[in-house]
Amino acid sequence: MRRSEHRPDPHGGWEAWAHRVLDGADTDADLGVEAARDAMAVAAGELDEDEFRDRYENDYRRQFGTDRRPRLVDGLTRPHTEPAITGRAPDAVAGAGASFAGGLEAGGLEQDGDGAGDGTDAVSGSDEPQVVPRRAVLGVLGGAAAGALFFGELFRRGAFASSPGIGDPLPLAGDPGTGAVTGGGTAAPGEATDVQFGMVIDLERCDGCLRCVDACVEENGLSEGVLWPYVFAYQEPGDADPRYLPRLCQNCTRAPCVMVCPTGARHRRLADGLVLTDYDVCIGCRYCQVACPYGVNVFQFADPATTGGSFTGERRDARGVAVKGEPPRGVMGKCTFCPLRQDDPERRGTAACVDACSMEALHIGDLNDPDSAPNRYLAKRREEAGGNLPTFRLLEDLGTEPNIIYIGQPPSAKAELVEGDWAYEDWGLTEDRRTVLEGPEPWFRRLAQEA
DSSP-assigned states of every residue in 286-346: -HHHHH-TT---EE--S-GGGTT----S--B-TTS-B-SSSPPTT-EE-----HHHHHSTT
Query: Total structural domains in the chain?
Result: 1
Helix and strand numbers, DSSP H then E, in the chain: 14, 15
From residue 246, how far is each of 213, 231, 255 by CA, in Å?
9, 4, 20
Alpha carbons 342 and 339: distance in angstroms, whole number: 5
The per-residue pLDDT for 76 is 52
Alpha carbons 3 and 20: distance in angstroms, whole number: 23
Over residues 171-198, mean pLDDT: 63
Alpha carbons 360 and 377: distance in angstroms, whole number: 10
For 288-332, what is each residue's pLDDT tens digit?
A: 999 998 889 988 888 887 767 778 889 999 999 999 999 998 999
Over residues 185-212, mean pLDDT: 95
For 210-243, what is each residue's pLDDT tens digit?
A: 999 999 999 999 988 888 998 988 899 999 999 9
Over residues 331-345, mean pLDDT: 97
The pTM (predicted TM-score) of the whole model is 0.77
Residue 416 parent element (H or E) = strand 416-417
Closest to 19 (Cα-Cα) out of 4, 33, 35, 40: 33
Q: Positive or negative CA dihedral for 115, 120, 122, 126?
A: positive
The per-residue pLDDT for 78 is 54
Is residue 265 pLDDT above 90, yes or no? yes
Closest to 104 (Cα-Cα) out of 427, 441, 433, 434: 433
Is residue 436 pLDDT above 50, yes or no? no
Structural contact between residues 276 and 316, judged by C-beta atoms closer than 8 angstroms: no
* Beta bridge mates, 391: 407
Domain of residue 227, residue span:
1-451
- Mean pLDDT (the chain) is 74
Phi-psi label, residue 297: left if phi above 0, alpha if psi -120 to 50, beta otherwise:
beta
Q: What is the DSSP letter of 168?
A: B
Alpha carbons 325 and 102: distance in angstroms, whole number: 22
The per-residue pLDDT for 112 is 29
Length of the chain: 451
For 378-398, what is each residue's pLDDT tens digit?
A: 999 999 999 999 999 988 889
Alpha carbons 407 and 394: distance in angstroms, whole number: 11
Q: Positive or negative CA dihedral for 202, 206, 211, 212?
A: positive
